[in-house]
Amino acid sequence: MFESTFPKKWAEEIISRMQRYYRAKFSATFPVAEGQTAEQYEDDLIATACEVFEGLSPDDIKRGLDRMKRSTFCPIFPEFAGWCEPKTDDWLGSHEAWAIAEKSIGFGGQELTVIWTEQMAQAFSRCEELIKTGDKYQRAEAKKIFCDAYDRLVTQAKDQGLKPIYVTSLGTDKDQAIAAIKQAEVDGFLPAPVAQAQLEHKQTKAEIQSDSLKYKTIAQEALAKLAPHIKRNVNKMTEEVKETQPWESYEMQHIDPFDDFDEYKAALQSEQKKLPQAVRFMDEKVGGGV
């Protein structure tokens, strides 16, 4: 025969509260069997409760008792056990969460925009490297790691009475970011005002290019209108407008010291230049200097 490990004292306390909360409704929900003594009735209630409540934690029981305070009908034991379980309506299952989280990394390893919960982000951080560098087998292992971690984190959040909060983690691809935010709004992860606020200053590559061409056209049209009213800068160094200066037509005469040293020396003196060291020996031969 199955023997429950659920503490008998816990079962007795739950039954006692149900009797106090519901009184006549409790008796109607749990009637005494024909020929049953009061002691047998109580033992049967406790044994049944222990079987049904097997596996519930103190936090689970507290959750059930809190709901029982607000209920107008007396639950049978399986119903009360259901009240003890964390609400799962708002939370995605691990496989559905994985389908969202794995899209945060592209096939080339680049970071993409994803709208997810803190629990998804934490679970994915435990297997992110396998996604970036691994093959299909490592990707399967990554999914297992993610699902185990996500289930644990979600259970902790449920125990604390938390609901999922979706946040946007932006990636590097602008087009993909816009598509992801719009899809999150459709899926109900982002309220419409939040999604619109996030999209307010975002443009696709096509929109950016279109705006660039539009601004370029506007600038060209403005310059065309201003052209008759402005004096354009003229570069006087261009060949078509360059004026030859007198000194530019003068060709400096080169005098070779070995052909006529005296003339070479006189030319240097007129320019107040010293005789180069390389030819001073010639000056020594003629007995002079500069």
For residue 289, CA distances in Å to 245, 276, 280, 285 come to 36, 11, 8, 10
Residue 138 confidence (pLDDT) above 90: no
Q: What are phi and psi of 125, to 5 degrees?
A: -65, -25
What are the b/e assignments for 270-290, b being 16+ CB within 10 Å? eeeeebeeeeeeeeeeeeeee
**Structure tokens, 234:** 């003229």
Q: What is the mean pLDDT of the chain?
A: 82
Q: Degrees (nearest 5) of the Cα angle 138, 143, 144?
A: 95
pLDDT band at 31 (very low <50, low <70, confident <90, very high): very high
**Per-residue pLDDT averaged across 214-234, rounded?**
71
> What's the CA gap between 164 and 156, in Å, rounded?
12
Say what the pTM is.
0.44
Distance, in Å, from the CA atom of 145 to the CA atom of 34, rounded to the nearest integer, reads: 54
pLDDT of residue 38: 93
pLDDT at 28: 93
Tell whether the model's pLDDT for residue 289 goes beyond 50. Answer: no
Who's near 129: CB < 8 A, 6+ residues apart? none
CA distance 78 to 64: 11
Model confidence pLDDT, tens digit, residues 3-22? 788 999 999 999 999 999 99
Contacts of 149 (CB under 8 A, 6+ apart): 122, 123, 126, 127
On the question of pLDDT at 115 being above 80, the answer is yes
What pLDDT does residue 290 have?
43
pLDDT band with cut points at 50, 70 and 90 for residue 230: confident
Task: Read off the pLDDT of residues 150-191 as tens digits, 9 standing for 90 and up.
Answer: 999 998 888 787 889 999 998 888 888 888 898 888 888 888
Q: Is the pLDDT of residue 288 over 60?
A: no
